[in-house]
Structure 1
């Protein structure tokens, strides 16, 4: 038996088909739109997350000593 709107508990959001997490911004030039599609495609999703993880780790390693020294100086 298929699920219908009446089968859902009250207050729950309606069931909708899965959508892409990334929406293409409107009004982009063709080359920018193509790069956006390539960067947000499901095939490249894992790679961009790995790259972002390394950037966050690098930022944390650069910021943490500065904060530690500043807090030690204030104490």
Structure 2
């Protein structure tokens, strides 16, 4: 199994908050992005979205499971 720090992925900042507003993942009370993960295929099509409140952690193993399933054509 791959470790999260070895994934070929992109991470970036959204200083103005424009992308989080377009994607609808802003916590308006806190004024910050919710905990969101997006899996985007090579054609820039969103294949999976996971969004949780700030109090809820993310599970890296679950993201890896989803990626593996999509690569195998099972998701």
Common fold, TM-score beyond 0.5?
A: no
Higher relative contact order (CA 8 A, sep 6+): 2
Structure 1 or 2: larger strand share?
A: 2
TM-score norm. by structure 2 comes to 0.26
Larger radius of gyration between Structure 1 and Structure 2: 1
